[in-house]
Amino acid sequence: MTADPNAAPGSTPEAGQDREIRSIIQQLRIVYRAMQEHSRWVERQCGVSAAQLWALWEMHKRPGMRVSELSRSLSLHQSTTSNMLDKLEKKGLIERRRGGPDQRVVKVYLTAAGAAIVKQAPQPAQGTISDALLRLPEQRLAQLDQGLQAMVAAMVIKDSEAALRHMSDTDDRQEKRFE
């Protein structure tokens, strides 16, 4: 490894790596906390979670979506999306309809109450992370994707489907384990 000509006298390559690691951890905490705060703010404003608002927004943009289409739009597993839809249906914000020749196909629609929430909802409806990512230049987005893929690959991950559940889903499970 070559010495960094800009390094402070007496510093080691490990010290520079330690600083970078601490910086990355701090930035990840900022991102995570920003997501938590946005979700709490959305819930106070609308009475639904940020993930539920995003689902309502997607259904508003494309009425009559199939559950599988909504899952793809939200980057969630279909069972996670179905559980979310159960909650939204109990609140009277969406309805599921079967129709057409194949009665197995379920399409989702906003009710008047769901449409009213979307109309008065704070923006960005898809969340602070998605909004920030949309603002990045394509090259930065590709670099970030590659870096995060490398970090995830270096981690010991036991839950291969973690990416397909909303973050609040894992929080709920952790809380139940410790009750």
pLDDT beyond 70 at 124? no
Position 2 scores a pLDDT of 52
Retrieve residue 79's tokens. 């069972």
Q: Does domain 14-177 have CATH number 3.40.640.10?
A: no
Position 13 scores a pLDDT of 66
Position 173 scores a pLDDT of 43
Provide the residue ranges of all domains of the chain, joining segments of one domain with +: 14-177
Higher pLDDT, 153 or 142: 142
Average pLDDT over the chain reads: 82
The C-alpha atoms of residue 18 and residue 2 are separated, in whole angstroms, by 17
* Whole-structure pTM value: 0.68
Q: What is the mean pLDDT of residues 38-55?
A: 89
The C-alpha atoms of residue 29 and residue 23 are separated, in whole angstroms, by 10
Position 175 scores a pLDDT of 37
The C-alpha atoms of residue 116 and residue 113 are separated, in whole angstroms, by 5
